[in-house]
A and B are shown apart, each in its own frame.
Chain A
């Protein structure tokens, strides 16, 4: 680096002498930014197009892309290794919504206040859940890229055929699914598909019926406020649906793509999954349910209120980057309303700006976004913790074990409480 700087200085001097000041300035600012852009579900193909747009407007910046990690956990493992080694090779990271707190806490992310402005002003136009989860210790840890949330997908055709209305509570959903399963007489038809394998999605599987009772897992300061009875009841809800044959027995093996594939094959009535699944059901050549899919808010527990799990991805600048100012400039472009609209139109990636949800162009390609906005706004985020790696592991492993029936819900909840008491205080 030192050598490059001195070389640059030397060349500038030579150029100035030759009276070519302008081009020397351009050379001096020439930077290459390397961006880690997630796995296939984060659509690196579209991100590349955003980079190209930025390069066209800023000829002195060249953007390289790096992709990898099919799931959020795999990406977290890779990034933990890279960032732990203080690697300067990557300037910008696309990270899951659960990570800014942890990465900023570990000193891996550059606070963006100096480049973009005050957190309150900069993050004001975004949906509330994103403006809050990207500010850590009063500093901008990352900027929102695109939103995501867990939605309830359902087979419109089957509900219409059997005269079933959109269920509002989990009990209604269980009854509706059982009715349709019985009437269809297909032993392979699942009533509801949820993710029970020990993957990140299982954290939401634990939280959905818990939140659905109007309970909170943590307070604003990150302290755990677990209501054990409600959590036990929540896990029990899933198990009673397994007993009723609505959820399949090996639910503890089900990962996110399994739900997508089985729903596409027409084997599922109701399915909980992330926003990206909509495109898969609608566009994939092997989808047998094209045109038969509806989306609705998640049911509530009886007497509670509907709540979903919010996801989404953010751009963060590495604390070890050697081109932080240039990187912050690119991040500003990537988190702009124009980029958000581009991702919504081209890839049905949910916008992080409320205004984009009602944009005419967006609604032409994704009419369901109008309702999706309310689902995302009403959604809750998973606990923001500097120890999120541990929080996530404990919740998903225990939830999966309960769904595999190697632990009772009460045992599982006690275990979650005792294991997290140390890190969420």
Chain B
């Protein structure tokens, strides 16, 4: 009897059972491709799992985490990652907003402007890094060529061989690469602001400057927050551009967390410690995302 009733229940499920049945495939898929890898990562982070050691696995508890805490390379990479985020996210926002306002002007033909906006975004990150590394090359780079024509310095600047200059060059490249994505999201936001608001402000005698601060910015805030979340999360994961431009050099002065994790696991084959570093980066990302989500809850 029990079997029959189970069968009947499946054939004519209650709303709750139906809900579970419908959600199950998606849940299984998510568990397989998201929950399992993250769980495995956390699991690995508690083991001494060095492939170079002959594949022996040893449980070491929180030893890896203690090592991370004392590892100057980790703190250096964390500092670089946070600095890149703090510089390039606002940088891309300002440039992106400017581009979006420019693209929102009443052009006769809109597509060339939009296309120009899209191109840097469509370019793969690694290509952007390689192209800009070429721009900043001491001898063959276009940057030094322009400098030579304008200022004629005694010595060409070695952009990518000086820690601070290399860092600046990387930030500049990231801002160039990402501001078009910002601009796209902000442009969509701009187009949703009703024209009537500006007309009313015009009638009331508000200047363009006042219109910008009193109408555009408040109306655009939801778009800005969405753009900031996306940009911040990808900024914390910065890898391709510094990897292709400097490989983290000179020394490890431009190494980011993602690069350190890659180096530890792929080059050093230290999967255990690499996993620990990845967990630390994961926590950092979660922390920042939670902060943003809380802000949105308050604003929207």
Contacts and interface: CB of A to CB of B under 8 A. Distances in A.
B161 A397 contact: no
Interface of B: 51-55, 137-139, 155-156, 158, 160-163, 247-253, 263, 266-270
Nearest to B270: A390
Given A249-B158, A386-B53, A80 B251 contact: no
Interface residues of A, number: 29
A360 to B, nearest CB: 44
Shortest beta-carbon contacts, A-B, top 3: A401-B251, A250-B138, A404-B161
Contact of B55 (A102, A106, A389, A407): A106
A313 B214 CA distance: 68
A359 B248 CA distance: 46
Contacts of B270: 390
A253 B162 contact: no
Contacts of A398: 251
Contacts of A253: 137-138, 158, 160-161
Contacts of B248: 397
B250 to A, nearest CB: 4
B52 A386 contact: yes
Contacts of B252: 397
Contacts of B139: 250
B194 to A, nearest CB: 53
Contacts of B156: 250
A107 B137 contact: no
A106 B54 contact: yes
Given A401-B249, A401-B251, A406 B163 contact: yes
Nearest to A252: B161
Q: Tell me the interface secondary structure of chain A in the complex.
A: helix
Given A249-B158, A252-B250, A253-B158, A389 B54 contact: no
A393 B250 contact: no
B267 A105 contact: no
Given A105-B54, A107-B55, A386-B52, A397 B251 contact: yes
A312 to B, nearest CB: 21
A268 to B, nearest CB: 13
Given A84-B269, A102-B269, 19 more contacts: A76-B267, A77-B267, A81-B266, A102-B52, A106-B51, A106-B269, A107-B51, A107-B54, A198-B249, A253-B161, A389-B266, A389-B269, A393-B267, A397-B252, A400-B250, A400-B251, A401-B251, A404-B161, A404-B251
Nearest to B136: A253
Interface string A375-387: 0000000000011
Nearest to A385: B52
Contacts of B51: 84, 106-107
Interface of A: 73, 76-77, 80-81, 84, 102, 105-107, 198, 249-250, 252-253, 386-387, 389-390, 392-393, 397-398, 400-401, 404-407
Contacts of A405: 161
13 contacts: A80-B266, A80-B267, A80-B269, A106-B51, A107-B51, A253-B137, A397-B248, A401-B249, A404-B158, A404-B161, A406-B162, A406-B163, A406-B251
B267 A390 contact: yes
Contacts of A401: 249-251, 253
A406 B269 contact: no
Contacts of A76: 267
Nearest to B55: A107
A258 to B, nearest CB: 9
A102 B54 CA distance: 9
A73 B243 CA distance: 13
Contacts of A84: 51, 269
B158 A250 contact: yes
Contacts of A250: 138-139, 156, 158, 161
B145 to A, nearest CB: 15
B52 to A, nearest CB: 4
Contacts of B54: 105-107, 386
Contacts of A252: 158, 161, 249-250
A246 to B, nearest CB: 17
Given A249-B155, A390-B267, A397 B52 contact: no
A107 B50 CA distance: 12
